[in-house]
Amino acid sequence: MSSIQKCELLPIPKIEDPRGNLSVIENNVVPFKINRVYYLYDVPAGAERGGHAHKKLQQFLIALSGSFDVILNDGKEVKTITLNKPFEGLLITSEIWRELKNFSSGAVCLVIASDVFSEDDYIREFQDFLESKV
């Protein structure tokens, strides 16, 4: 299995109720221990986020509101996934270049990460990422 194929959409349990639905994310939903949670919002029209890879960190992205595209690249294959359901998340494994684009108005992207922030874990230049794959 190629590394990009390990990046997959995973369901988030959804409890339906006429008063409003509820979804719960616990450590049995994501395949790693949750160590950091943050979210992106108020992304201006046409703006892009991401544009990096992580050496070890894994992430789980959820469109809590609105939609956006996630472009994944493992150095050999490119895959685009549109996130637009709050009861489904995208697992992004380590050593995958990611770009987030096409944010709808009011989109909110929740990111659940396997570790705390560490600048040393980032690969911020695409050429460096490609060279790390050889």
Residue 81 has what pLDDT? Answer: 98
Residue that wins the pLDDT comparison between 133 and 33: 33
52 is annotated as an active-site residue: yes
Q: Is the pLDDT of residue 2 over 80?
A: no
Both tokens of residue 126?
């695409």
The set of residues, in sequence order, having a beta carbon less than 8 Å from that of 20 and lying 6+ positions away, is none
pLDDT, tens only, 88-111: 999 999 999 999 999 999 999 999
pLDDT, tens only, 62-92: 999 999 999 999 999 999 999 999 999 999 9
In one letter, which amino acid is 129? F
Residue 134 has what pLDDT? Answer: 77
Between CA 132 and CA 123 the distance in angstroms is 9
Residue 27 has what pLDDT? Answer: 85
Q: What are phi and psi of 5, to 5 degrees?
A: -70, -20
Burial readout 76-86 (b: 16 or more C-beta within 10 A, e: otherwise): eeeeeeebebb
pLDDT, tens only, 12-24: 999 999 999 999 9
- Given the residues 52, 79, 85, 101, select the one marked as catalytic: 52
* Mean pLDDT, all residues of the chain: 96
CB 35 within 8 A of CB 115: yes
Rg for the chain, CA atoms, rounded: 15
Q: Is the pLDDT of residue 42 over 90?
A: yes
